[in-house]
Each structure stands twice: as C-alpha cells, then as structure tokens.
Structure 1
Amino acid sequence: MNAMLERAVRIALRDVVDPEMGRSVIDLGLIYGIAASDDGAVRIGMTTTVRGCPLAGVLKEAVAMAAGAAGGVTSVEVSLIYEPAWTPAMIAAG
C-alpha cells in the first residue's frame, strides 16, 4: 500500500466534477476507495448517484484520467460499485 500515492490520487480526483450535481466526486462521496501499490498501480472503487446513471461511463473515464495524471501512477483500474447504495448523506458538508 502506498498512502502518499493514494493521497495524491484523492487530491487529483477533486478536479472531477459530476456535471449534474456540480460538485467533485470526492465531495459527493462517490469514491468508495483508492488503493495504490508501491509500483504505482491504482485501483479505485466508485459509485454514481443512481444505478444506471447515463453519465457513469463519462465519470468513470474522467476519474481514470485524473488519477492517471497524478505523479507516480503507472496504471489505473476503476470499478463501479453500487453497494452500499449512494445517498445524499454521503455529500461532504461545505
């Protein structure tokens, strides 16, 4: 596990904004987990606000691109997860 790389990826994902909600995927609580290995491979588990979201592919691609741009990342795998189901209570205050 590479905590510094996970933090860098989390910071990079703040630039990915859900076009319908107008807030970052981090602030919305859509990122369920980030795991980075010492060789720079990153795995991200994320969700969407609703199952079957028409923007799921766009968001998944944007997350992968932003994560891949973080220094030290050699590969990115993004998985969509729908358990637990996203709720508005997951949105960060602010």
Structure 2
Amino acid sequence: MLKLKIKKGDKVQVIAGADKGKKGTVLEVSPTAMKIKVEGVKVQTHYDKKDGLLKKEGFIDFSNVKLVEAKAKAAKTEKKATKKASAKAK
C-alpha cells in the first residue's frame, strides 16, 4: 500500500476531470482505495428518506489533484511568525 502525501485538511487543486481547476480543502482520505473527497468537487445528489435530496461530495482519485498547501506546513509557519512577532515586541 502506498503512503499518500495528501492529508485531511490540506488545500488541493483538481488537475484532471470535469472539475479541473477547482481548489478546495480535503474532507476525507481513503488510503486503501487511493481516493479523496474535496470540498465542492464532484458534488452528487443523494436521496435520503428522512432529509430528502442532499448534495454531497464524492470521492475522486488522488492522482487527479495536486497539493497546493499542506496543513502541517501552514501551522508550522504560523507558529514561527507568532514567535518572531512576540520576540520583537519584547
């Protein structure tokens, strides 16, 4: 099994398929199927007896997206920026 470089919370851009060019946040990752759910991409209509018609995101293959911004890297850079700002304030 391959280790996916895309994690939940990362920002990605679709590079292939009907939603090509769209950007969104990763909502869910399925490493065994090598598929991911991206916010606002491959929106499907789903009927539920209780709630009626719902719009839900579907899974797309992870090879059809590219990583724009990793969640972990963004958190690290924010911490560094706050440390520098607090050091300058003292």
**Same fold per superposition (TM over 0.5):** no
Which structure's CA Rg is the greater one? 2
Greater percentage in strand: 2
Q: TM-score range by the shorter chain?
A: under 0.3
Greater percentage in helix: 1
Using the size of structure 1 for normalisation, the TM-score is: 0.27
